[in-house]
């Protein structure tokens, strides 16, 4: 009986961890961008300005969101920083001359509009905001 209870508790714990790891964001790009997957490390590097070109050599245009639920989830999930740490990272890069922060947008709708109008763009939105105007990138 104890083995059954322990097994059930273990399965519930695994399910809770899996649910907690479900992304509350979708990384998006232009519909015509040939890229359909991006590694977690490459995504992090793109948003930290450490990777600046697509595989074909064209410059990546990075967009981020202001203080939104998508921003909170994305910066913690992909960049592995709090939103404040991410802001501080870019502020230091700007003042030291080592980088220019990505353009910050107020919400999902504005993000989709900017990404849909720029074939080299990348950004993120909440999953429920995803539609045919942009393409989601699978993070592997």
What ranges do the domains of the chain cover?
24-139
DSSP secondary-structure letter at 124?
Answer: E
Res 16 pLDDT > 80: no
- Report pTM: 0.83
Cα(12)–Cα(1) distance, integer angstroms: 17
Which of the listed CATH numbers 3.40.190.10, 3.40.50.1000, 1.10.1740.10, 3.30.1240.10 matches domain 24-139? 3.40.190.10
Full DSSP string of 23-37: -S-EEEEETT-S--E
∠ CA(44), CA(50), CA(55), 5° rounding? 85
For 2-16, 62-76, 125-139, which range has the lowest pLDDT when averaged over its residues? 2-16
- Cβ-Cβ contacts under 8 Å for 124 (sequence gap 6 or more): 25, 26, 27, 28, 64, 65, 70, 71, 74, 78, 111
């Amino acid at each position: 009986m104890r083995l059954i209870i322990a097994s059930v508790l273990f399965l519930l714990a695994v399910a809770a961890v899996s649910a907690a790891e479900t992304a509350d964001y979708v990384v998006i790009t232009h519909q015509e961008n040939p890229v359909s997957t991006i590694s977690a490390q490459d995504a992090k590097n793109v948003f930290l300005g450490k990777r600046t070109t697509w595989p074909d050599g064209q410059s990546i245009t990075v967009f981020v969101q202001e203080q939104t639920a998508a921003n909170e989830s994305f910066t913690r999930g992909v960049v592995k920083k709090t939103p404040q740490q991410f802001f501080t990272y870019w502020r230091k890069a700007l003042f030291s001359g080592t980088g220019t922060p990505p353009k910050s947008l107020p919400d999902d709708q504005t993000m989709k509009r900017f990404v849909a109008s720029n074939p080299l763009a990348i950004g993120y939105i909440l999953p429920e905001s995803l539609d045919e105007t942009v393409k989601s990138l699978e993070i592997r």
